[in-house]
Structure 1
């Protein structure tokens, strides 16, 4: 009883920022209803970026904004599981493996080779490589302690990845429509070629109905690659290095994000018929608002100064890797008969 008391002040600190994100999210949903072609995802990000550019969020709203950008999006992903069957997840996940493994291999090899050629520090190019190849900031956060990355390297990598998150959310729906992709194929492309879950959700939502479920399933399968990559990097560290994965193998389980487990639980509940039609509607509406609020939080978190500080080399490496991953995904989709 006494230990839980401090939770109240901490929770109260989150309210202003969450309220701001929810307000922007609600406005974005309204704009998406008025102009369905635009959708709600891009307005949420754009409004957030504009507000942050005019006036950086202060200490009063920052905790809630950070909470919204991470936890509200993950909660929305969990709710999305209630709209998919186990058969859908297995089929789409298996179908994505050739594209996903190809893009990841190309990305990691290019990060090593191009990064060395551009004289980028080994840890920084590793962070940018896994961030681009797997799942953005989540992969960077998981791998950073394994390779003993510094806080500065982490900040540079996250800032670099953030630039291409925003670019992908805008460019990929345009690319998908230009290529005449259907919702399923666009989901495969977005889930394998866009680095962060938030941008996958934004791009798929903007593209149109039906793409979001496919894209998120593919993205979650890709996110699980954090585990073998982190273990592989740990094995490369010198004995007595910073990584504790070898000394405490049970920590491997902590690399699996909680929202993937929650997503699977919701898929199983839906497949077993445990979720009523009314609950489906409520979850779909709540998920839409949470996505918009989370993307608003990501927009509000934009730090143009940090992006400038990262310098041109990390940004150039991030751009090259993003283009290579996209080209590889399109190439594999073409070879498997998905394009054209």
Structure 2
């Protein structure tokens, strides 16, 4: 009970910020900015203005770690592998090229700009898959710093805002078809809310195509977290104090990722009804907003200043590469 009381102030603040973020998202025209991004920035703002570490830290820490893992588990209930059969091999081929570009380019750019591998790969995951959700899912697997999570989300978010405006204009100027635009936007714009806004601004048909493509793209979260879980575990085993440690499944794949994948499998075989899946997705989304609010509350602006603009340049160049590669691959494969 005493521990619960210690966590209550911090968790309550994160929940209140999350509620405010969802409200702001709903009143903003076009829903261009997702509640997760809004919550994170509100958290950073609140910390800058006022933050009592003794009162809030334990609850904020709990929300940014435990609640985030709960959100990831519930996210699995909204993922369905059967969507792959619906979209066909053409969509998968486009996605393979964009994923390879994002992670391959992210690795090289991380070396060029001398950015730590965790931050670099979170930017790549956000660019390759679905912005903040992918970054939030990857962060606990590689034990990323909260400041790096905030930086990764910020760098991908700024590019998304620009693309919401530019994509419909470019698509109209060069005379893209609705289907082409849907594939292009669905495989190259990062955050879900941003790609939906850009696609439906172009046309209803483009929005429908994009939705199917984006759902397939979101499934890439599963192999991504599994691969990086393995990579990070191997990195830890190379540390001098861990070299004699035995390989264990719990260390190789965190428990919450196992449940996350299991939830996706249960949903794919129809064990979870569409109604329950929808409810779990809604809860997951809100818990993700709460967790991002907490991560914002733990992020000090001085860390951003010390890190500099390199991660933003990294994210911008990487997102631009994905845009170009996506366009070329869609042109050759879809036509």
Answer yes or no: is the 8 Å Cα contact 2:18–2:39 preserved in 1.
yes
Q: From 77, 85, 88, give the equivalent of 2:80.
A: 85
1:11–1:85 CA distance, 2 compared to 1 (3 A): same
Matches of residues 144-293 of structure 1 in structure 2 within 5 Å? 159=147, 162-176=150-164, 178-180=166-168, 186=185, 188-189=187-188, 210=211, 213-214=215-216, 216-227=218-229, 229-230=231-232, 241-242=239-240, 244=242, 247-248=244-245, 250-251=247-248, 254-293=251-290
Aligned partner of 2:98 in structure 1 is 99
Hey, what's the Cα distance between the residues in 1 that align with 2:236 and 2:276? Answer: 43
1:160–1:78 CA distance, 2 compared to 1 (3 A): closer
Aligned partner of 2:111 in structure 1 is 112
1:140–1:332 CA distance, 2 compared to 1 (3 A): same
1:333–1:306 CA distance, 2 compared to 1 (3 A): same
| Structure 2, unaligned runs of 5 or more | 126-133, 172-180, 201-206
Q: Structure 1 stretch 69-78 or stretch 22-31: which is displaced more?
A: 69-78
Q: Structure 1 stretch 268-277 or stretch 60-69: which is displaced more?
A: 268-277
So what's the TM-score if we normalise by structure 2?
A: 0.70
So what's the TM-score if we normalise by structure 1?
A: 0.69
The two structures, once aligned, show a CA RMSD in angstroms of 3.9
1:190–1:249 CA distance, 2 compared to 1 (3 A): farther
Q: From 323, 330, 334, give the equivalent of 2:323.
A: 330
Answer yes or no: is the 8 Å Cα contact 1:42–1:206 preserved in 2.
no
Hey, what's the Cα distance between the residues in 2 that align with 1:141 and 1:270? Answer: 23
Answer yes or no: is the 8 Å Cα contact 2:110–2:314 preserved in 1.
yes
Hey, what's the Cα distance between the residues in 2 that align with 1:160 and 1:107? Answer: 15
Q: Say whether residues 1:10 and 2:6 are aligned partners.
A: no
Give the drift of 1:54.
1.0
| Structure 1, unaligned runs of 5 or more | 1-7, 116-123, 145-153, 192-199
1:73–1:275 CA distance, 2 compared to 1 (3 A): same
